[in-house]
Structure formats: structure tokens, C-alpha cells
């Protein structure tokens, strides 16, 4: 990677999906000259069970250029071993019923080919990723009969017959940019993605809308394109410009299921899965989106920078007729949306080191209609309220400071939606209701000397959802709103080419979802109290005199036994998802470029 850019809040440049922001990942362009090869080898192990928790990774890349042509080719293969907690006990490979990384083998192939065309550049990018979790254990469901938090999750061995959990993802894109046409900068892109992921098998017979032993997988294909034109606006001054364009995407998504023999499942104690049929859980749905956008940047005078934009979206979703797993016939149809979204921001420079900013932005997102359709009651249609799109308004104000030894920032935000989206619980339908979320974030980095660097971050968020039955606002659950989070680090260049970093993560308490739950007699999904914890890591890097770089890391340096927020919330409703975090884990890697 060359760099990662985070665009906070929604913008007029992007359509369906990024209601909270956009992350752009840019891959490094090859340096001119002869081809350069980079090889990386790494391994990791659980410190408490060294021989049983081994994992490793090997990658090889080659990059170079010749005249107008450049290329980057790479491949990676990795194997993740078993995970062990701080007490040396094996962690279930599927710790929360949503898949896991333990016992996973993955392969990744990457190619980027570029060619200069006049003043511009044409680039083809291809990426193929595949992972598979080959495990024989599940989290023991018998622990759900014990008092919550009285027993940590443990593995139960003997799993056979189910399809391995895993992911396959193929991405291709063709870009052209850098050229100037009639004084305007041009960028065009076309893309294609083919995605498949397999989830864990489970017994859904207690869920009335399913009533089977099942395992689902998601299949999705998406293609589209984007055109951007950035033009200067001379009448407004040399710093004024407008970025305008259009984007289009079309997707085909479905979620079938394997149905397994319930009698064999019961005889084996939930470990043997014998496939009896394949059925539709979510039918093939086809979202389509066309967006037109314009973004203006203008500096009326030196200390003030203004940005504003507008986006008009034309989105529709096609849903066929189908029958749910429990036999409810659902009539299909077509959903159409045509929102117009705005954003406006200003930055004021208060001297050379300090700037103040404020912004308003809007985002748009089609709901996860498959989640609503698959458990839909009889008579439901795509026009039902729970299947409508979501629009989000966000306000943010902040201040940034950048002095030579100190960099800091402080911001506050508030988002609201008239039709928010929140899960009602494990195997439960989605709740659509008004929501509001607000919070504060702060960062600090200090360089006391050329050898030292220290700093940290602080993030606090809270939020509520409107419950119609008692006409009151109640706290969002802790899957939606995380507890206070703080990080700190200290970095030291001990010798030239040898750097060390110690970092600490603190996650705070959150009881509000429990104290403010709409039904005081029941603890709902994500409403359990969360206790604080902290964990420290160590990272070192040593340049080996032109012969490569040695990287050493120790995760959970002090081998603390703790439970993450997700584990404390008991996603499955019982101790089968009360999973301890990984104990001390040591990794060593060597990278050489030649």
C-alpha cells in the first residue's frame, strides 16, 4: 500500500452505502528502472502453546517499468493456526457464530498493469482472493444452559459434513486518468466484482421463520463505472474548481442455503451435517444505481476554504416472487428511490498552525433488503416500511493544530436518520425507527525529540432510537454504540534503523443499553452491561544493513485474560459466544527487496 485516506462523513461524490464515510486504499506505483522483487516471510505462535498455534505467511511481489509501461505482480499464501487464550485454552474457531480466522488458509493474487497514453495513464488491476476455514470444532452449545458469564466458551470436536466457511473474491478495474481535456482533468473507471462467502451451519428449528438445520452462503456480482471531470472556475479565482460527473452500478445478489438432516444432527449431538436439499433463503435481487454529482471548492480569501456539493441518485431494486423457508409466499416487485443529497463544509485558518472546521453532509443507503426478505411474514412486499432506504444527516465541528513537535485534533459530531436500521437480535428481523448518534473524538501526537514519539486517541459515542410503543427515546444497543475507546503509544528509535513501539488499547464500561432498555424484564440483543478492559502490544522493526528488514510483534504483551465487547454481549444469547480473547502471541517477519 502507498497510503490509506479516510473521508469522514458522507459526501456528494459517492452514492449508495457510505453514510458514515469512505476509505480509499491506494496501492503503490512501481519505481522507474529495473524490476525490483520483494519477498516477505512471517510466522506467529501462541506463547502459551507454542507448538499448537503456529501460523505463517509468504508473499512475493515484482514491480518495474520500461518506458511508458509499468507493472506490479504479487502473490501471498498464509495459514492461520489455532487461537489460544491467556490461560492456554483453545478458543473455538467460530467464536461468535459469524465465522472466524483460526485454522484458515488463504491465497491472494494481485496484478496492476499501467501504460502511459499521452499525458494520461491507463491502468488495469486484477485481484483474486480465496480463504477457507478447515476446522473440526464448534463452540459447545451445552454451555448455553449455564448461567451467563459463569463459563467461557469452549470448543466441541467432531464437526463433519458441513461446507467449509470461507470467502472468494475476484475484483477487476480499468482506470484512465491524468489527462487534461479543454483545461479539465479527466478520470474514468470501470469495475467488476464477483464475491462469495460461506457462513457457519446451525440449528434454526427454534426460529419460526426458518424451522430447519441450515447453512447459508452469499453470492454477489457487481459491475459499474464512474466518470469524473475537474474543471477550474476562473471567475472565482485561481483556487476555485468544480468536480462533476456520474457513476453507475448494477448488482445481482442471492443467499441460498443447504438444508441438513435434523435426525442425523440430533443423533450426533449437533456435529454431523448430512445435506438433504438446497433451497432459496434470499432470492436473486438486482439493485441498480445511477448518480449525478457536483462538488465545488472555493477559497474566497486566504484564511477561508469552502466546499459544497450536491448528488442526485436514481436507484431501484428488483425482487422476484419467492417462498420463505417456512412456506410464506412473498410477492416480489420493484423499489424505486430518487434522493437528492447535499453537503457543505468550511475550514478557517487561525494562523499557520491552527484551523477550525465545520460541515453538514447527507448520506443515502439501500437497506439490507435480503435481511428483511428472508424472514418476512406472510403478506409482506418490497414496499413494506422495513425495506425502505435510509438517509442520514450529519453535522460536525472541530479544530486541528499542527506545531512542529505537536499535532492534535478535537471534533464533535451528530448524525440522525428518520428511518434508522438496527438488528433486533440473533435470528430476529431488522428494526426501522428514527435514530440519533453523537460523539467526540480527539487525537494527540508529540515528538519530544528526533528519537521519541508519543500520542494517543480518544473516542466517545452515544446514541438513541425512538421506540413507538412508549413514545420515548432509548439507548442504542452496544453492537451499534461502542464504549469509550482510548489508545496510547510510545515510539523510540533506539539505534539508527531500529525502532520500538509500545501501544495500549483501553475499552471502557457501558451500562446505558442495559439500564435504558425498552423492556426492563428482558435483556435484549446487545443490551447486556459491558465491563472495561485494556491490552498492550509491542512492535519492533530492525533494518539489517541493506539486507532487508526484521519485524517482531507481541500481541497482548502481558498475557491478560479478557473478553472483548462482542464476547461480553453474548451474541448467541448464552456462553457459547462468551469467548476469551487471544493470549500472548508472538510474530516474526523478514522482508527483503532485491
- Torsion-angle region of 427 (φ positive above 0: left; ψ -120 to 50: alpha; else: beta): left
**Per-residue pLDDT at 15:** 67
Angle (nearest 5°) at CA 269 between 263 and 274: 45
**Per-residue pLDDT at 429:** 65
Distances (CA, A) of 344 to 170, 398, 424, 552: 36, 14, 34, 45
Pick the closest to residue 391 from 458, 339, 460 (CA basis). Answer: 339
φ/ψ (deg, to 5) at 524: -85, -175
Cell numbers describing residue 10: 458522507
Q: Which residue has the cell 457459547?
A: 576
What tens digit of pLDDT does each residue of 312-326 get? 999 999 999 998 888
CA torsion sign, 187 to 188 to 192 to 197?
Answer: positive
Instruction: State the chain's mean pLDDT as an integer.
Output: 91
Q: What is the DSSP string of 298-335?
A: EEEETTEEEEEEEEEEEEEEEE--EE-TTS-EE--EEE
**Per-residue pLDDT at 86:** 96
Pick the closest to residue 57 from 84, 39, 38 (CA basis). Answer: 39
φ/ψ (deg, to 5) at 386: -70, -10
Q: Which residue has the cell 428482558?
A: 522
Distances (CA, A) of 279 to 189, 212, 217, 316, 358: 37, 11, 11, 26, 51
Q: Is residue 329 within 8 Å of 379, Cβ to Cβ?
A: no
d(CA 94, CA 96): 6
Quickly count: other Cβ atoms within 10 Å of residue 66's Cβ: 11
CA torsion sign, 196 to 202 to 207 to 209?
Answer: positive
Q: What is the pLDDT along the chain (594 residues), one digit of tens a residue?
A: 788 888 777 666 776 666 777 888 887 777 777 899 999 999 999 998 877 789 999 999 999 998 899 999 999 999 999 999 999 999 999 998 888 899 999 999 999 999 999 889 999 999 999 999 999 999 998 999 999 999 999 999 999 999 999 999 999 999 999 888 888 999 999 999 999 999 999 888 888 888 899 999 999 999 999 999 999 988 777 689 999 999 999 999 999 999 999 999 999 988 999 999 999 999 999 999 999 999 999 998 889 999 999 999 999 999 999 988 888 888 888 989 999 999 999 999 998 899 999 999 998 887 778 877 888 877 777 777 667 888 899 999 999 999 989 999 999 999 999 988 877 665 566 788 999 999 999 999 999 999 999 999 999 999 999 998 889 999 999 999 999 999 999 999 999 999 999 999 999 999 999 999 988 888 988 999 999 999 999 999 999 987 899 999 999 999 999 999 999 999 888 999 999 999 999 999 999 999
What tens digit of pLDDT does each residue of 441-499 get? 999 999 999 999 999 999 999 999 999 888 999 999 999 999 999 999 999 999 999 99
Q: What is the DSSP string of 492-505?
A: EEEETTEEEEEEEE
Q: What is the DSSP string of 80-123?
A: E---B-TTSPBPPSSTTSS--STTEEEEEEEEEEEEEETTEEEE
**Per-residue pLDDT at 260:** 97
Beta-bridged to residue 214, according to DSSP, are 202, 259
Amino acid at each position: 500500500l502507498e497510503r490509506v485516506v479516510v473521508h469522514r462523513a458522507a459526501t456528494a461524490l459517492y452514492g449508495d452505502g457510505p453514510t458514515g464515510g469512505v476509505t480509499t486504499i491506494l496501492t503503490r506505483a512501481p519505481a522507474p528502472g529495473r524490476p525490483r522483487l520483494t519477498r516477505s516471510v512471517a510466522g506467529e505462535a501462541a506463547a502459551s502453546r507454542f507448538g499448537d498455534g503456529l501460523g505463517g505467511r509468504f508473499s512475493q511481489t515484482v514491480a518495474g517499468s520500461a518506458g511508458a509501461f509499468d507493472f506490479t505482480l504479487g502473490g501471498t499464501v498464509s495459514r492461520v493456526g489455532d487461537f489460544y487464550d491467556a490461560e492456554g485454552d483453545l478458543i473455538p474457531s467460530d467464536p461468535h457464530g459469524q465465522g472466524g480466522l483460526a485454522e484458515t488458509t488463504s491465497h491472494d493474487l494481485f496484478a496492476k498493469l499501467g501504460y502511459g497514453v499521452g499525458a494520461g495513464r491507463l491502468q488495469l488491476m486484477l485481484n483474486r482472493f480465496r480463504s477457507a476455514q478447515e476446522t473440526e470444532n464448534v463452540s459447545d452449545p451445552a454451555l448455553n444452559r449455564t448461567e451467563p458469564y459463569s463459563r467461557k466458551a469452549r470448543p466441541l470436536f467432531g464437526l463433519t459434513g458441513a461446507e467449509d466457511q470461507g470467502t472468494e473474491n475476484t475484483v477487476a478495474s480499468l482506470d484512465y486518468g491524468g489527462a487534461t481535456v479543454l483545461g479539465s482533468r479527466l478520470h474514468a473507471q470501470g469495475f467488476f466484482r464477483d464475491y462469495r462467502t460461506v457462513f457457519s451451519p446451525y440449528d434454526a428449528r427454534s426460529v419460526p421463520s426458518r424451522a430447519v438445520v441450515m447453512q447459508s452462503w452469499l453470492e454477489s456480482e457487481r459491475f459499474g463505472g464512474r466518470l469524473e471531470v475537474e474543471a477550474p472556475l476562473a471567475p472565482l479565482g485561481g483556487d476555485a474548481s468544480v468536480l462533476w460527473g456520474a457513476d453507475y452500478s448494477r448488482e445481482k445478489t442471492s443467499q441460498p442455503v443447504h438444508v441438513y438432516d435434523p435426525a442425523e444432527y440430533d443423533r450426533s449431538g449437533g456435529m454431523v451435517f448430512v445435506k438433504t436439499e438446497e433451497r432459496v433463503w434470499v432470492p436473486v435481487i438486482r439493485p441498480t444505481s445511477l448518480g449525478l454529482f457536483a462538488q465545488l471548492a472555493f477559497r474566497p480569501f486566504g484564511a477561508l476554504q469552502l466546499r459544497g456539493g450536491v448528488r442526485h441518485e436514481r436507484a431501484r431494486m428488483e425482487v422476484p416472487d419467492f417462498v420463505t423457508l417456512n412456506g410464506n409466499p412473498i410477492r416480489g416487485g420493484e423499489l424505486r428511490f430518487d434522493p437528492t443529497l447535499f453537503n457543505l463544509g468550511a475550514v478557517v485558518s487561525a494562523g499557520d498552525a491552527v484551523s477550525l472546521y465545520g460541515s453538514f453532509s447527507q448520506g443515502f443507503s439501500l437497506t439490507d433488503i435480503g435481511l428483511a426478505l428472508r424472514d418476512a411474514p406472510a403478506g409482506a412486499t418490497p414496499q413494506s416500511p422495513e425495506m425502505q432506504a435510509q438517509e442520514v444527516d450529519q453535522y460536525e465541528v472541530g479544530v486541528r493544530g499542527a506545531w512542529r513537535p505537536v499535532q492534535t485534533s478535537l471534533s464533535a459530531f451528530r448524525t440522525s436518520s428518520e428511518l434508522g436500521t438496527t438488528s433486533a437480535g440473533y435470528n430476529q428481523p431488522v428494526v426501522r425507527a428514527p435514530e440519533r448518534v453523537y460523539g467526540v473524538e480527539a487525537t494527540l501526537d508529540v515528538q519530544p525529540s528526533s528519537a521519541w514519539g508519543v500520542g494517543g486517541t480518544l473516542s466517545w459515542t452515544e446514541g438513541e432510537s425512538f421506540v413507538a410503543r412508549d413514545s420515548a427515546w432509548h439507548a442504542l444497543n452496544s453492537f451499534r454504540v461502542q464504549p469509550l475507546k482510548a489508545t496510547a503509544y510510545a515510539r523510540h528509535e533506539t539505534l539508527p534503523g531500529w525502532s520500538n513501539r509500545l501501544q495500549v488499547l483501553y475499552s471502557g464500561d457501558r451500562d446505558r443499553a442495559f439500564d435504558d432498555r425498552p423492556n426492563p424484564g428482558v435483556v435484549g440483543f446487545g443490551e447486556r452491561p459491558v465491563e472495561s478492559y485494556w491490552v498492550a502490544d509491542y512492535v519492533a522493526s530492525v533494518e539489517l544493513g541493506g539486507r532487508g528488514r526484521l519485524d517482531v510483534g507481541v500481541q497482548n504483551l502481558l498475557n491478560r485474560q479478557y473478553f472483548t465487547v462482542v464476547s461480553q454481549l453474548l451474541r448467541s444469547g448464552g456462553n457459547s459466544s462468551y469467548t476469551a480473547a487471544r493470549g500472548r502471541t508472538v510474530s516474526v517477519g523478514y522482508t527483503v527487496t532485491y
